[in-house]
């Protein structure tokens, strides 16, 4: 537990105590999330035909470490990459490889999790390579719209089912 946190109480249905966070804690969370987002902003220009997913991963690792953070995925259960890069039909947690090179029409999800000053930032982005098929372009656009519509509902007291409903209706 970080020093500024304090435990409130043990809820009977939880695995442990509920922790109240301070304004400084939230700033730490924001900084970690911002760094993860910046890593994705940086890598998108390198998503081009012919590049290997391993080359993208190495750039992400260098960026994260250059910002004074570490990748949360490196060393997790033996995993040795700074990202998960899922290509086309791979749903999630694709493993970067020197043998996997991007081709025209590919779509990929790049997932990055960083640890900065003890806080985790985790985010992902869908990116198209070259001339992406209309159905793939639509998939990327609609899923992002679903995300934003669900995020607009997030507030204290919001029900998870309401988020799922707005996603299902829009999709």
Q: Tell how far CA 86 is from the center of its chain.
A: 12
- Per-residue confidence (pLDDT) for residue 37, from 0 to 100: 97
pLDDT band at residue 19, thresholds of 50, 70 and 90? confident
Tell me if 56 sits within 8 A of 87, measured CB to CB.
no
- Per-residue confidence (pLDDT) for residue 3, from 0 to 100: 47
- Per-residue confidence (pLDDT) for residue 1, from 0 to 100: 47
pLDDT band at residue 13, thresholds of 50, 70 and 90? low
Comparing CA positions, the residue from 142, 137, 119, 99 lying closest to residue 36 is 119
Query: Residue 6 pLDDT more than 60?
Result: no
**Considering the chain, what is the average pLDDT of its residues?**
92
- Per-residue confidence (pLDDT) for residue 91, from 0 to 100: 84
What's the CA gap between 74 and 83, in Å, rounded? 8
Q: What are phi and psi of 131, to 5 degrees?
A: -90, 85
Query: Residue 12 pLDDT more than 50?
Result: yes
How many Å is the maximal CA-CA distance in the chain? 54
Tell me if 34 sits within 8 A of 114, measured CB to CB.
no
β-strands 107-116, 70-71: how paired?
antiparallel
What pLDDT digit, counting tens, does each position of 133-162 carry?
A: 999 999 999 999 999 999 999 998 899 999
What pLDDT digit, counting tens, does each position of 41-91 carry?
A: 999 999 999 999 999 999 999 999 999 999 999 999 999 999 999 999 998
Confidence (pTM): 0.84
What pLDDT digit, counting tens, does each position of 91-123 carry?
A: 889 999 999 999 999 999 999 999 999 999 999
User: What is the 3-state composition of the chain as percent helix, strand, coil, each rounded to the nearest 5?
Assistant: 40, 20, 35
Residue with tokens 């993208």, as numbered in its chain: 56
């Amino acid at each position: 537990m970080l020093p500024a946190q304090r435990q409130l109480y043990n809820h009977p249905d939880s695995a442990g105590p509920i922790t109240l966070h301070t304004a400084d804690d939230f700033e730490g969370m924001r900084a970690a999330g911002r760094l993860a987002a910046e890593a994705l902003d940086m890598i998108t220009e390198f998503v081009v035909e012919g590049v290997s997913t391993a080359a993208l991963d190495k750039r992400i690792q260098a960026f994260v470490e250059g910002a004074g953070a570490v990748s949360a995925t490196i060393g997790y259960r033996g995993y040795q990459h700074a990202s998960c890069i899922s290509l086309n039909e791979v749903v999630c947690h694709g493993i970067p490889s020197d043998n996997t090179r991007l081709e025209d029409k590919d779509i990929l999800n790049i997932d990055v999790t960083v640890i900065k000053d003890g806080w985790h930032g985790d985010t992902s982005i869908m990116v198209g390579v070259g001339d992406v098929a209309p159905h793939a372009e639509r998939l990327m656009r609609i899923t992002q719209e679903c995300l934003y519509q669900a995020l607009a509902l997030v507030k204290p007291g919001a029900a998870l089912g309401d988020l799922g409903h707005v996603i299902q209706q829009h999709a």
